[in-house]
Amino acid sequence: MRRVRLSVAVLLLSSLLAGCFAASGDASDDASEGSRLRVALAFPPAENLSPYGADATILSRLGVTEGLTSLDANGAAAPALAASWRREGERSWVFRLREATFQDGSAVTPSAVAASLTRATEARPTPAALAGVGLTAKAAGESDVRITTEDPDPVLPLRLSSPSLAVLSAKAYDAEARVDLVGTATGPFELTKVMGSTAVTLDRYDDYWGGRAQAPGIDVKFIPDGTARTSALRTGQVDVAEAVPVAQAASLDKGVRKATETTRTTSLLLNSESGPFKDAGLRAAVRQAVDTSVLAEDVYEGYADAGTGIYGPAVTWAEGKRTRPAGRAAADDPDGTRITLATYDNRPELPEVAQVLEQQLEQAGFDVTLQVREYSRLESDALDGEFDAFVLARNTLVDTGDPVSVLASDYTCDGGYNLAQLCDRDVDRAVAQAEDADDTAARQDAAMAAEARILGTDAVLPLVHQRIITGVAAPVRGALLDPYERTLVGTGTRR
């Protein structure tokens, strides 16, 4: 297996995003007791709240987990459990820990941090932030952790901000490699009760190193249906509702609906390993058949831009460096080719997007069978290549904050989230070159060259670049509307 040298560059500084984290009102300094927050999330746990996969973002958004570092508003690594860090040689970094405790009362020590990161390296499947990366963590004195990588990684601190690399106490792990998040993390809110895939309860962790949260706790409901989620907000059953459907936005007062430009792109992924779309000519036929402007204008009602690439307008440097895809095949006649198109309904616009695509593809000559399920019931089949085509909304910077990492995880032979089942030597070579580039401008150029190679395979067709609508009730202050979609509530969030 080729070892991916995922070098996270400093290109995600102030030039990355046009805006910063948005808050619904200013976080109050008033220390008086607030009320418990009621939050509706769109995605139920797909992996029993494993900290190593997609569920890791649920935990970070709710203020349960955190890592050594975080992302600031400009996309740079910022202190979290590590107060500072320094580089020692090409492959080694030393992180100095702040004084903090786990929610079980034990101290956050160098040995505990090293053990937690070691567990992450042993997780299967490998967390996206560590895909192809060899990493060793060891205690280095009373307050330092030394992290060494197999290959030089000049901005390792950015990788360690990934929600899938959260630091947990020794009590979180058992001999069977299972992980228990109840009371073992370090965030301002402690997971106290898990009710399957329907709800979780969190209480404030009063000894949080960053200060006492203003809300005494959070009651979370997982409501996959967008209409039901919006209705719960409108009728006062919840205070915050994520992923409000575009069609439902007008039913909320203007001050309640918060639109945030994000780094999320909705794409059509074609299974290039097996089935009809192993044929590049049929993939090209899909590209010719799809009209993305219809999706942006009609389905998203102006809350999206037509797809131009893997990176959208929120990655502000991308458009000026984008190059034309090369090596695209000529389109073949579909001639009634049967295909299975799948998507999920947690993001309410996706089924409508899929229906529009179904019509466009059938007009082009394909025979389409559409499947729509809740995401947790689709993920394993999608990863196994059970569908010919899949509509996915993907935040390109959520895993590590590095725009190159999504290319490695989603479009290379060894990628851990390669729903297109793409394995192309030219693509792998271009992605590796982007990973190896350290200079900001050179890395940007290499990333866009890799994007052009990927788009040239027609295995991924960017459809729209989305703005996310979050419903925040008027009494709520300090909701964290994050372009990376890693945070939602924090110490200053209250009602």
pLDDT digits (tens, 9 = 90+) for 370-424: 999 999 899 999 999 999 999 999 988 777 777 888 898 899 998 889 999 999 9
Give the pLDDT confidence score for residue 10 in this predicted structure.
33
Question: What pLDDT, in 10s, does the model give residues 183-231?
Answer: 999 999 999 999 999 999 999 999 999 999 999 999 999 999 999 999 9
Question: What pLDDT, in 10s, does the model give residues 68-115?
Answer: 999 887 778 899 999 999 999 989 999 999 999 999 999 999 999 999
Lowest-confidence pick of 52-66, 160-174, 310-324 = 310-324
- 481 pLDDT band, cuts 50/70/90, is very high
More confident call, 468 vs 188: 188
Distance CA 261, CA 302 (A): 12
Give the pLDDT confidence score for residue 33 in this predicted structure.
67
Each domain of the chain, given as residue ranges in start order, spans 32-64+187-256+473-495, 65-171, 263-467
CA atoms within 13 A on the CB side of 185: 30
Q: What does CATH list as the number for 65-171?
A: 3.90.76.10
Residue 299 DSSP symbol: I
Which residues have CB under 8 Å from 486's CB, separation 6+? 57, 60, 61, 71, 163, 398
CA atoms within 13 A on the CB side of 35: 9
CA angle 379, 357, 340 (to 5 degrees): 45
CATH 3.10.290.10 at 32-64+187-256+473-495, yes or no: no
Give the pLDDT confidence score for residue 152 in this predicted structure.
85
Encoded amino acid at 163, one letter: P
Give the pLDDT confidence score for residue 336 in this predicted structure.
97
pLDDT tops 60 at residue 9: no
- Which residue, among 6, 11, 55, 133, has the nearest Cα to 407 in the 3D structure? 6
Question: What pLDDT, in 10s, does the model give residues 295-315?
Answer: 999 999 888 989 999 998 888
Give the pLDDT confidence score for residue 177 in this predicted structure.
73
Give the pLDDT confidence score for residue 32 in this predicted structure.
53
Tokens of 26: 């200013």
- 15 pLDDT band, cuts 50/70/90, is very low
CATH class of 263-467: alpha beta
Question: What pLDDT, in 10s, does the model give residues 347-363?
Answer: 889 999 999 999 999 99
Average pLDDT over residues 265-277: 97
Give the pLDDT confidence score for residue 17 in this predicted structure.
37
Range of 23-27, 319-323, 330-334, 467-471 with top mean pLDDT: 330-334
Bridge partners, residue 257, by sequence:
471
Average pLDDT over residues 164-172: 96
- Which residue, among 386, 389, 382, 294, has the nearest Cα to 334 in the 3D structure? 389
The mean pLDDT of the chain is 89
What proportion of the chain, given as a percentage, has pLDDT over 70?
Answer: 93
475 by Cβ neighbours in 10 Å (0-12 / 13-18 / 19+) ranks as exposed
Average pLDDT over residues 239-261: 93
